[in-house]
Amino acid sequence: VPRAERSPLNGPGVTRDGARVRLLANVAGAHDAQEASRWGAEGVGLFRTELSFLDRGIEPSVEEQAETYLAVLRAFPGQRVVIRTLDAGSDKPVPYLTLPGEPNPALGVRGFRTARRDPDVLARQLEAISHAAMRAGEAPWVMAPMIATRDEAASFASMARGAGIETVGVMIETPAAALLADAIAAEVDFLSIGTNDLAQYVMAADRQATELADLGDPWQPAVLAMIAAVGRAGLARGIPVGVCGEAASTPDLAPVLVGAGATSLSMAPRALAPVAAALADVTLAECRAAADAATSADSSDDARRSAAAALRVRV
Ligand code: PEP
Ligand code: MG
């Protein structure tokens, strides 16, 4: 284990020439959030709320949910905490929300789509988040997973704002959302790219099929091109673009994501220091050159090699 993987982050994420890249943690609940704080995370970039309720047969009350969210907010006072509404379904079935027996659960009623059938569950979650925010005196960012259309983004934004949430975003993890990122960006305050699902759907390769891992690789030029399109949309609209999939925790890939327009990276806490070290080594211009080289590569291996060459690092 390299030394950086055992040490906490010390100081904010920044490139060699001073471009700020917020380094955040992915958490599943309060215990993770406290640990992430010890690892020096600058906040939470992805709170996967469904993971707190995977074993629940019935929906937790608004007050019980609020307690769960409050505990995470309290781990990062005054810092950014991005709460994702329930991403129930597919690889994360939540008993009280997920339809059993879907033939293609990854393409089924998951994430924000569950609100078609049951909008009240989402409404109560937003209410619980709002309660927790008030009690903590914090203003969490709130985002929805599995958005595929501008209408879905608009409808989520209106529900969340109606519940008193000030900063509302959506995850970009379907090819449709990436292609229409500019239109979607007009509806929300921030975007967050979920590279795990984005790679799965761009490459049509099940994220759980280890046999297809080479296709689901975030270094695939098609995946990187999608990420870069989202980065351009965020820049054009002047809103932040985070990356919260596993790709963000890869030190070699982090500069490419930043060059493609990511303004924050969210990851497992132990990856924070290695990613910070990788960014501290490179300038923003080098990141952009690496992103250009990688997105125009012919293969994932070629993307790795050309990004490394652009960053003048030996592979
Ligand atoms: C993703 O899809 O990249 C993501 C961050 O969400 P999850 O892994 O929870 O689906
Ligand atoms: Mg996802």
Rounded CA-CA distance 42/189 in Å is 19
**What is the per-residue pLDDT across 87-108, written as a single tens digit (0 to 9) for each?**
999 889 999 999 889 999 999 9
Please state the φ and ψ torsions of residue 81, each to the nearest 5 degrees. Answer: -130, 120
Task: Give the ligand whose atoms come closest to the C-alpha of residue 84.
Answer: 1
Tell me 8's DSSP state. Answer: -
Rounded CA-CA distance 168/82 in Å is 9
Q: Give Cα 61 distance to the centre of its chain.
A: 26
Q: Helical H runs in 39-186?
A: 62-75, 114-117, 119-136, 150-162, 175-179, 181-185
173: Cβ below 6 Å to ligand 1?
yes
Q: Are 191 and 172 in contact (CB under 8 A)?
A: yes
CA–centroid distance, 165 to ligand 1, in Å, is 22
Q: Are 202 and 229 in contact (CB under 8 A)?
A: no
Please state the φ and ψ torsions of residue 6, each to the nearest 5 degrees. Answer: -105, -5
Q: Are 255 and 287 in contact (CB under 8 A)?
A: yes
ipTM reported for the complex surpasses 0.95: yes
Q: Give Cα 10 distance to the centre of its chain.
A: 22
CA–centroid distance, 193 to ligand 1, in Å, is 9
Whole-model pTM: value is 0.96
- Rg of the chain, C-alpha, whole Å: 19
Helix (H) or strand (E) holding 225: helix 221-237
**What is the per-residue pLDDT across 190-236, written as a single tens digit (0 to 9) for each?**
999 999 999 999 999 999 999 999 999 999 999 999 999 999 999 99
Is 291 in a helix, a strand, or coil? helix
CA–centroid distance, 311 to ligand 2, in Å, is 29
Nearest CA to ligand 1 atom 6: 194
Residue position matching structure tokens 């309720």: 53
Distance separating the N- and C-terminal Cα atoms of the chain? 18
Tell me 265's DSSP state. Answer: E
Nearest CA to ligand 1 atom 1: 194
Rounded CA-CA distance 289/194 in Å is 23
Nearest CA to ligand 1 atom 9: 48
Q: Are 75 and 67 in contact (CB under 8 A)?
A: no
167: Cβ below 6 Å to ligand 1?
no
Residue 82 buriedness (CB in 10 A; 0-12 / 13-18 / 19+): buried
**What is the per-residue pLDDT across 154-177, written as a single tens digit (0 to 9) for each?**
999 999 999 999 999 999 999 999
Please state the φ and ψ torsions of residue 54, each to the nearest 5 degrees. Answer: -60, -30
Stretches where the chain sits below pLDDT 50 are 314-315
Rounded CA-CA distance 219/195 in Å is 10
194: Cβ below 6 Å to ligand 1?
yes
Contact residues for 76 (Cβ-Cβ < 8 A; gap 6+): 33, 37, 41, 43, 44
In ligand 1, the atom with minimum distance to the C-alpha of 90 is 10
Res 315: pLDDT:
47
What sign results for the dihedral spanned by CA atoms 306, 308, 314, 315? negative
51: Cβ below 6 Å to ligand 1?
no
